[in-house]
A and B are shown apart, each in its own frame.
Chain A
Amino acid sequence: MANPNVAFYILQDASPDSRLAFACRLIEKAYKEKHRVYIHAPTKEMAHQLDEFLWTYKDNSFVPHSLANEKIDPAPPVQIGHDTPPTTNHTMLVNLCDEIPPFFNRYRRIAEIITNNDNEQALGRERYKTYRQNACELTTHKL
């Protein structure tokens, strides 16, 4: 399989909420384009936060989703996980972790969202390097 296309989205805002809000927009768009999206969160708390955001961030939006641990069968097109690697097939990864998950090359597309925060940006640069070392196609979008 070809190496994933990785898109870095650089936000002007520094708040963690702005990152989740942007993730929701990205996920909604991908869902409408028929992608199957897996979101990898660093902690259960952040997985829950994103779950809540996806359900509430806009009055008139609806993205069918579940937490990976909810074991919904058949799995919805959008799933949020935090510990174990996903067991279902997805075409796109949204990575919310500091590290690149070891199963990153299962996906056609990967999204990285970087807030306007020194630490986040430093970690983001590290991930950018790693993706490049793994011969991924890279694009950067300043927002």
Chain B
Amino acid sequence: MINDKDDAIDEIFSATGALSQCIENFSPREGQIAMARAIATCIKHKEALCVEAGTGTGKTFAYLLPALLSKKKVIVSTGTKNLQDQLFFKDLPLVIKATDIRPKIALLKGRANYVCLYRLDLAFETGRFNDKSSVADLQSITHWSHATISGDIAEVEGVSEDASVWPWVTSNEGNCLGAECPLFQKCYVVKARRKAQAADLVVINHHLFFADLALRDREVGEILPDADVIIFDEAHQVAETASNFFDERMSSRSLIDLCDDLETESQKVARDIQLNLHAVATKLRQATQDLRLALGQDSRRDTWASVKSSVSRIVDHVKLSLLGFNEVLESAADLSEGLNHCFERSIEAISSFEAITADQGDESIHWFETYPRSFVLHVTPLLVAKEFQAYLDKTKAAKIFTSATLTSNGDFSYFQDQLNLQEAGILSVESPFDFKEQALLYVPRYLPMPSAENYTEKLLEEVIPLLNKTNGRAFILFTSHYALSYAANFLRDRLEFPLFIQGELPKTRLLEGFAESGNGVLLGTSSFWEGVDIRGSNLSMVIIDKLPFASPYDPIMRARLEMFKKQGKNAFFTYQLPKAVLSLKQGVGRLIRDIDDKGLLVVCDPRLIAKAYGETFIESLPPLPRTRDAGVASDFAEEL
């Protein structure tokens, strides 16, 4: 039905409309307008809507415009901080410019993204850092902190995002002093939250959404304003974020941090008390390290049940150390705010540790992961649909879920089932790109099965000639870290192009370097399958090593597959396959980013052709021309 809103939307998106005045080379896209109209209707009737919008639809504008035109309170939640920044600093100002609406807008991130002035002072006072680069980092941060308005550490220049000082100049739930903080009035987290509360449109991320949800559930406060409209962009990540959020975890890091913080705080108290505090900290640190050793040398992820009996003695020891720590601190807690806070953290640590090491219930998964020098213990909900349902029941907001990848073979049910959105409306908007002209899918012949020992070597031999044809300008996306590091070693002496290898630099710097090089080859795993936007000829080939099935040995995956089996469902078709399809669609989505982009997609896995389920993958991908002929692929690569 045509109404005033639709007219306004049509006008703004038209060839001569307001957007065309603000954006160079703007051209109206049918799909974008259809999406904007559907969202306007959804907002009007306070419904729920899932929209899959193929790459290039312009989905950001398609939801921002109707959201603004509605003049309601809007929350936009996206997957990552980088996407938040892009939305807030690039897209949102453009859309506002195209309307005559001047809403109050706010950007809100998690607390770890804001400098904590109290901890910054503390880091200086205690002289924790004495190496040159850390001192320089601290000075840069301090200098910036005098001038910043937002306190968002993304503004800091010249300090690497993986610098070791960051945890010491930002706060977390555990070490924040809250209203007791002497610098509370200046707190950037508080300021940002107040601004968000007062705004008409707030840009947040999924993690923050669930943090707010949890606070409301416990009735201990709220971060976000009550919204009339909530839009989840990158909605395919919502369930995963929820699962991570509701995951109760305890890391060896958090215990060691507690010990470190106690020692820092204890420097301000009398000598005899200080000695006692040091003693319990040392004991807890030792017990924590013992538990790491007991969990086995190799880094791994496994169920808690698999180690429970073999580590029970050491687990008891950690518990006793925590209790001792807590007991000694109790008598020192009123000496300072910092010590009191350590005391409170120790209470929480005891309860988490007991919950995690207890017997597993039906609705949660107890598991652990180990790294060379640390471990993390987890209790993860088997499904997040329940937690999400509680929210859906309460909220009266219109809810929009959008992403380039929500469906498998045109079917939304995998996505809907994860979040109990079976009742929500659905809309698929096809990409406006002409894949027939812009791309080619190549599946090489004679590769062994992906389980073969020499698989990675064989596929690399296969793609080296193609890399030489495209003169680099390629991503090789791996499904495992093992294959990634194997490939890094293998390719180093065999390629003349600069290699950008995940883990050698932070993600953003790796991508900048790749884009600037003009002939780079980037090797990445899961985090590079998504949210990477390199337009133009700098990225002309995407190579995917295997169909991205999650490992069935992963403790979470194993428990979820088990659950589907118990429910009498086919776990492969209801869960594993659609999950892998969405991942592959994400990976493939890196290649063609613009109407003029061209590129070769190489999916090495022979199962894509030989297995019946290959059809589900093919039907779910954009309509790419296909080949298995090395000559055809090579000719295409030559033209890129």
Interface residues in chain A, defined as those with a beta carbon under 8 Å from any beta carbon in chain B:
48, 51-52, 55-56, 59-60, 62, 64-67, 69-73, 76-77
**Which residues B604-619 have CB closer than 8 A to chain A?**
606-607, 609-612, 614-615, 618-619
Interface contact A48-B611, CB-CB below 8 Å? no
Contacts of A52 in B (CB 8 A): 627-629, 632
Beyond contacts A52-B632, A71-B448: 12 other A-B pairs, Cβ-Cβ < 8 A, are: A48-B445, A51-B628, A52-B629, A55-B609, A55-B628, A59-B623, A64-B610, A64-B614, A64-B615, A67-B445, A70-B447, A76-B610
Give Cα A32 to B564, complex, Å: 28
In the bound complex, residues from chain B placing their C-beta under 8 Å from that of A51 are 445, 628
Residue of B nearest to A75 (CB): B610
Q: Is the CB of B619 within 8 A of A76?
A: no
Given contacts A52-B627, A59-B623, A62-B618, contact A69 B446 (CB under 8 A): yes
Complex: how many Å from CA A59 to CA B449? 26
**Contacting B606 at CB < 8 Å: which of A56, A59, A66?**
A66
Query: Chain B residues in contact with chain A, CB under 8 A?
Result: 443, 445-449, 606-607, 609-612, 614-615, 618-619, 623, 625-629, 632
> How far, in angstroms, from A24 to B628 measured CA to CA in the complex?
16
With both beta carbons as reference points, the residue of chain B lying nearest to A62 in the complex is identified as B615
CB nearest neighbor in A for B629: A52
Per CB-CB distance, the 10 closest pairs between chain A and chain B, nearest first, are A62-B615, A76-B610, A66-B610, A72-B610, A64-B612, A56-B626, A52-B629, A55-B626, A55-B628, A52-B628
A-B Cβ contacts below 8 A, count: 54
Looking at the complex, which one of A59, A66, A69 makes contact with B609 (CB distance below 8 Å)? A66
Alpha-carbon distance between A72 and B455 when the two chains are bound, in angstroms: 13
- Cβ of A78 to closest chain B Cβ, rounded Å: 9
Please name the residue on chain B nearest to A47 by beta carbon.
Answer: B445
Q: Please, which residue of chain B has its CB at the minimum distance from the CB of A79? A: B610
CA distance A2 to B612 in the complex (A): 30
Question: A65 near B629 (CB under 8 angstroms)?
Answer: no
A80 to chain B, nearest CB (A): 11
CA distance A97 to B615 in the complex (A): 29
| Complex interface: chain A residues within 8 A of B607 (CB) | 72
Q: CA of A65 to CA of B611 in the docked complex: distance in angstroms?
A: 7
- With a CB–CB cut-off of 8 A, which chain A residues contact B626? 55-56
Which residues of chain B are near A65, meaning CB under 8 Å?
609-610
Query: Is B625 touching A70 in the complex (CB atoms < 8 A)?
Result: no
- B628 engages A73 (CB within 8 Å): no
Q: Are B629 and A48 in contact (CB under 8 A)?
A: yes
Known: A59-B623, A62-B618, A67-B446. A76 touches B628 (CB 8 A): no
Contact across chains for B446 and A70 when beta carbons are under 8 A apart = yes
**With a CB–CB cut-off of 8 A, which chain A residues contact B625?**
56
